[in-house]
Amino acid sequence: MELFYPVTPTHYLVLSACLFGIGVAGVLSRRNIFISLMSLELMLNAVNLTFVTFSRINGDLTGHVIVLFVVAVAAAEACVGLAIVIALFRLKETVDLDLFKSLKG
């Protein structure tokens, strides 16, 4: 019972590590470029949860400020990433990552 209750910071940290792991597994195992991008967002969000948890542990708001910055950078990343997807789709008519191998030696 002590493992599950009360909810300690460790619970939140383990939860965010699990979310990060799911994101990594998504990037590793899927070929659809959209799902890879969304797994990337999952990883960013897992890190945000860690920042907020440590902010709560230390009673310091710096973590919240960094989360705001990460969200802004994630928005920029999503916008440029999706523009690249559109450009790639125009060129190859597909969103399959395995078919984008022109740079492979």
Partner 1 sequence: MLEAVVFYILAAALLGFGLLVITRTNPIASALSMVGAFGALAALYALLQATLIAIIQILVYAGGIMVLVIFVIMLLNLHEEDLKPMKARAGTVLLSLLAVFGLVLGPVFLAVFPKGNWKWAALTNDFGSIFTVGEKVFSDYLFPFEMLSLLLLAAIVGALVLSKRKL
31-90 positions binding partner 1, by CB under 8 A: 31-32, 34-35, 37-39, 41-42, 45, 48-49, 52-53, 55-59, 61-62, 64-65, 67-69, 71-80, 82-87, 89-90
Distance (Å) of CA 99 to CA 22, 26, 75: 24, 18, 26
- The sign one gets for the Cα dihedral 34, 36, 37, 43 is positive
23 lies in the site for partner 1, by CB under 8 A: yes
Closer residue to partner 1 in complex, CB, 103/105: 103
| Residue from the set 2, 28, 101, 105 that interacts with partner 1 by CB under 8 A | 28
Query: Is the peptide bond preceding residue 6 cis, with omega within 30 degrees of 0?
Result: yes
